[in-house]
């Protein structure tokens, strides 16, 4: 440690209060972030006795100083710890990479509610069910609700302008409240039964439908009785199909850990209303030598900061952090039980989740082995270092240019490292000040901007730089590298073959080596093609987004009567151009300065 940091004095002065601590190395890089109920005891434990794992031992050996932040409670410390881990991605924390929000099923708060797939805040009007582990589980549930309760899924702009029933009504998936083939009262009753079904009260819903069917039959309302009979039959079939999956009325998450081949899988199975909604595997990094309880504690702490925690967590191992359940309960406002020896249906859930974790881990190890073999093949073809550590660290960047007849030109840079694509490291470059359609000038600008930082020592040099293009593009890249004084050996062009078929590409080198055609069977070429195609995809999506943004304003400008002020009001009122497109005529009329005639003109101009 540096002389300016007196560890003994620092530890002696630490308070016996909750807070967050950060271990920092000599280069001011945060190595580890942790929370503590008692900062003095927790931080001191790192420097006394044997570290709890090889990972922690490596970390402690690199610590130059420690910083702490005192918080008012351990719950506040948990929140701060999670935010810092997400922002700093410390090298020695157990990290779970999952940046996506979980999907929900939404039943809207409209007069005639609709069911929809939904991501985002659940604080708005309506009912939100979930979270679901994946989009497939949401859509399967929507299909069930359509078959049984015949609820609408259409957007408001469609619903408010129907003059006759749509195809979904004709195939028995919607009761058509849009054209009043069902009264609003009866439709809302179906919505209420759907909500009870999603809450796990399916048997109650079934009895209710049966009683209504009998009453309708006694009243000689045979058409109504037949419709209820069909609804009851559809619900019965659904319940029969789910009988093997139903487990009471539980809301629980099942969290299990499996390990093999030096990798760990934490599998999350979600159970809502007694229905198994599916599994989601996570593969944490930096878990060498850590105990299962420590890994599960890290998962629970990171996962439930951004996700709803159910009242029951069924875990394959006891959490190392014994107070974590109480912290989650305090944060969520309801009790949280952690079970490690469940019985009955919960035990079956646990066993199933463990089997799925083992299967996911087997797939990962198989895929990882194949990916490592492709990286090795590429290194051998290009005469690069084939040491295991060097292969894992191999940093490949690929550049591509995309535009539409010179409009919205963008360059993309994608990154391959650790035997996989690294989306968090991707970059796009908006290309300006060139002749529209000049791909050479666009490539020169992108490479100059990217590698000027390398030449200045502000960024590391990649192991390999792939250019999507042949001799012309490679020559431009060569000139940029020569001007910046960079190594030309890392530059390789990927020239398309006849008919642009994968497997017929030729590698073109900037350092004068003869071009190489690897052939269709080459694992190295398959990896290069994968990286090149990802660069192409990333460039195209960026270009389309840029083009759409540029055209958004112009489409509104083209509508007679929509000036700058009205355009601004429309975009602000509906949250952007897509919201204006989706708005109904009545919605458009509600905007200040938009008359009925102008609302119609805008509505039909954007169709």
Task: Give the integer Cα–Cα distance in Å for 561 and 578.
Answer: 20
Catalogue the E-assigned strands of 310-426: 312-315, 337-339, 396-404, 407-417, 420-421
Q: Give the pLDDT score at 241.
A: 45
Determine how many CB atoms are found less than 10 A away from the CB of residue 31: 19
Domains 252-363 and 390-546 share a fold: yes
- 93 closest CA partner among 298, 307, 297: 298
Torsion of CA 582, 587, 588, 594, to 10 degrees: -170
Lowest mean pLDDT among 200-214, 410-424, 458-472, 513-527: 200-214
The structural domains of the chain, with segments of one domain joined by +, span 7-88, 252-363, 390-546, 558-605
Whether residue 209 contacts residue 232, with contact meaning beta carbons closer than 8 Å, is answered with yes
Torsion of CA 212, 215, 217, 221, to 10 degrees: -80
In tens, the pLDDT along 198-217 reads: 776 666 666 776 776 777 67
Residue 288 has pLDDT above 90, yes or no: no
In tens, the pLDDT along 73-127 reads: 888 888 888 888 888 888 888 888 655 567 888 888 888 888 888 887 777 788 8
Reported as a pLDDT band with limits 50, 70 and 90, residue 54 is: confident
Q: Give the pLDDT score at 245.
A: 44
Q: Domain 7-88 belongs to what topology?
A: GIY-YIG endonuclease (3.40.1440)
Residue 381 has pLDDT above 70, yes or no: yes
Q: Is 119 helix (H, G, I), strand (E, B) or coil?
A: coil
Q: Higher-confidence residue: 43 or 149?
A: 43
Whether residue 527 contacts residue 375, with contact meaning beta carbons closer than 8 Å, is answered with yes
Question: Phi first, then psi: what are they for 270, rounded to 5°?
Answer: -105, 130
Q: Is 400 helix (H, G, I), strand (E, B) or coil?
A: strand
Q: Domain 252-363 belongs to what topology?
A: Nucleotidyltransferase; domain 5 (3.30.420)
Q: Is 45 helix (H, G, I), strand (E, B) or coil?
A: helix
Q: What is the CATH number of domain 558-605?
A: 1.10.150.20
Whether residue 378 contacts residue 524, with contact meaning beta carbons closer than 8 Å, is answered with yes
Kindly report whether the global pTM for this prediction surpasses the value 0.95: no
**What are the helix and strand counts (H, E) for the chain?**
21, 18
Whether residue 567 contacts residue 591, with contact meaning beta carbons closer than 8 Å, is answered with no
Q: Give the pLDDT score at 247.
A: 47
Reported as a pLDDT band with limits 50, 70 and 90, residue 465 is: very high
Computed over every residue of the chain, the mean pLDDT equals 83
- Mean pLDDT over 359-381 rounds to 86
**Percent of the chain whose predicted confidence (pLDDT) is above 90:** 20
Q: State the DSSP H helix or E strand holding residue 174, giving kind and residue range, or none if neither.
A: none
Question: Which of the following CATH numbers is that of domain 390-546: 3.30.420.340, 3.40.30.10, 3.30.160.270, 3.40.50.150?
Answer: 3.30.420.340
């Amino acid at each position: 440690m540096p002389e300016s940091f007196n560890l003994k004095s620092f530890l002696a002065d630490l308070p016996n209060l909750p807070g967050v601590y950060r271990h920092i190395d000599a280069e001011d890089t945060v190595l580890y972030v942790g929370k503590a109920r008692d900062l003095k005891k927790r931080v001191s434990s790192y420097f006394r006795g044997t570290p709890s794992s090889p990972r922690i031992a490596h970390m402690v050996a690199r610590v130059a100083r420690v910083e702490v932040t005192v918080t008012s409670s351990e719950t506040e410390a948990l929140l701060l710890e999670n935010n810092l881990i997400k922002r700093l991605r410390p090298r020695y924390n157990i990290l779970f990479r999952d940046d996506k929000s979980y999907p929900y099923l939404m039943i809207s708060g409209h007069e005639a509610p609709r069911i929809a797939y939904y991501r985002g805040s659940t604080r708005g009007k309506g009912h939100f069910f979930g979270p679901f582990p994946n989009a497939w589980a949401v859509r399967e549930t929507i299909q069930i609700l359509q078959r049984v309760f015949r609820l609408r899924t259409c957007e408001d702009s469609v619903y408010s302008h129907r003059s006759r029933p749509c195809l979904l009504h004709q195939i028995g998936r919607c009761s058509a409240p849009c054209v009043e083939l069902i009264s609003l009262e009866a439709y809302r009753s179906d919505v209420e039964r759907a909500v009870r079904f999603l809450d796990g009260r399916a048997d109650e819903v079934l009895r209710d439908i049966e009683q209504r069917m009998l009453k309708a039959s006694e009243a000689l309302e045979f058409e109504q009785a037949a419709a209820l009979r069909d609804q009851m039959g559809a619900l019965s079939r659904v319940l029969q199909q789910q009988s093997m999956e139903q487990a009471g009325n539980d809301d629980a998450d099942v969290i299990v850990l499996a390990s093999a081949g030096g990798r760990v899988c934490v599998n999350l199975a979600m159970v809502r209303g007694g229905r198994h909604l599916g599994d989601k595997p996570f593969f944490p990094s930096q878990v060498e030598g850590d105990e299962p309880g420590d890994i599960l504690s890290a998962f629970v702490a990171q996962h439930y900061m951004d996700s709803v925690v159910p009242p029951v967590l069924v875990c394959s191992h006891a959490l190392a952090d014994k107070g974590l359940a109480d912290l989650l309960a305090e944060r969520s406002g309801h009790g949280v039980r952690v079970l490690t020896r469940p019985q009955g249906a919960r035990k079956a859930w646990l066993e199933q989740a463990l089997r799925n974790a083992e299967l996911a881990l087997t797939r990962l190890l198989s895929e990882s082995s194949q990916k490592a073999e492709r990286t090795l093949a590429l290194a051998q073809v290009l005469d690069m270092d084939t040491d295991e550590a060097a292969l894992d660290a191999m940093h490949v960047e690929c550049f591509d240019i995309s535009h539409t007849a010179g409009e919205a030109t963008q360059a993309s840079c994608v990154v391959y490292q650790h035997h996989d694509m690294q989306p968090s490291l991707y970059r796009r470059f908006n290309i300006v000040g060139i002749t529209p359609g000049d791909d050479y000038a666009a490539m020169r600008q992108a490479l100059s901007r990217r590698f000027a930082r390398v030449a200045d020592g502000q960024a590391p040099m990649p192991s390999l730089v792939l250019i999507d293009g042949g001799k012309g593009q490679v020559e431009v890249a060569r000139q940029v590298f020569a001007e910046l004084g960079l190594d030309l050996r890392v530059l390789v062009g990927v020239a398309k073959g006849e008919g642009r078929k994968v497997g017929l590409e030729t590698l073109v080198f900037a350092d004068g080596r003869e071009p190489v055609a690897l052939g269709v069977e080459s694992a190295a070429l398959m990896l290069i093609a994968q990286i090149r195609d990802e660069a192409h995809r990333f460039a195209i999506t960026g270009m389309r987004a840029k083009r759409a943004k540029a055209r958004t304003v112009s489409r509104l400008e083209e509508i007679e009567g929509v000036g700058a002020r009205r355009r601004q009001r429309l975009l602000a009122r509906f949250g952007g151009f897509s919201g204006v497109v989706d708005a109904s005529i009545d919605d458009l009329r509600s905007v200040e300065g938009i008359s009925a005639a102008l609302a119609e003109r805008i509505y039909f101009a954007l169709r």
